[in-house]
């Protein structure tokens, strides 16, 4: 019987504590920081997208070189 009382007390105390922390606005800030940290740790690498981005940059540089030549810039 004593174990049931302990378990029931924990089952009531933990949610009560969690709700109290939510009401005090402590958890949302910590939760937000935690989620940003987890997101950074799991940030995916995209080698195909990196190659496409490099091609876009090269194309933009070539476009600007051509435009400079026609307009007489520097």
pLDDT at 72: 58
User: Could you tell me if 9 and 39 lie in one domain?
Assistant: yes
User: Could you tell me if 29 and 54 lie in one domain?
Assistant: no
Distance CA 14, CA 20 (A): 10
User: Could you tell me if 5 and 15 lie in one domain?
Assistant: yes
Average pLDDT over residues 13-38: 77
Is it the case that residue 39 has pLDDT exceeding 90?
A: no
Residue range(s) defining the domain that contains residue 49: 44-74
User: Could you tell me if 5 and 27 lie in one domain?
Assistant: yes
pLDDT band at 73 (very low <50, low <70, confident <90, very high): low
User: Could you tell me if 48 and 22 lie in one domain?
Assistant: no
Are 59 and 53 in contact by the 8 Å Cβ rule? The answer is no
Structural domain count of the chain: 2
**27-36, 42-51, 56-65 — which is least confidently predicted?**
27-36
Query: What letter would DSSP give residue 44?
Result: P
User: Could you tell me if 34 and 48 lie in one domain?
Assistant: no
User: Could you tell me if 38 and 49 lie in one domain?
Assistant: no
């Amino acid at each position: 019987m004593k174990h049931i009382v302990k378990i029931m007390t924990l089952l009531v105390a933990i949610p009560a504590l969690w709700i109290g922390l939510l009401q005090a606005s402590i958890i949302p800030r910590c939760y937000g920081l935690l989620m940003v940290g987890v997101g950074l740790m799991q940030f995916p690498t995209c080698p195909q997208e990196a190659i496409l981005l490099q091609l876009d940059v090269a194309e933009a540089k070539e476009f600007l070189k051509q435009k400079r030549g026609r307009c007489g810039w520097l």
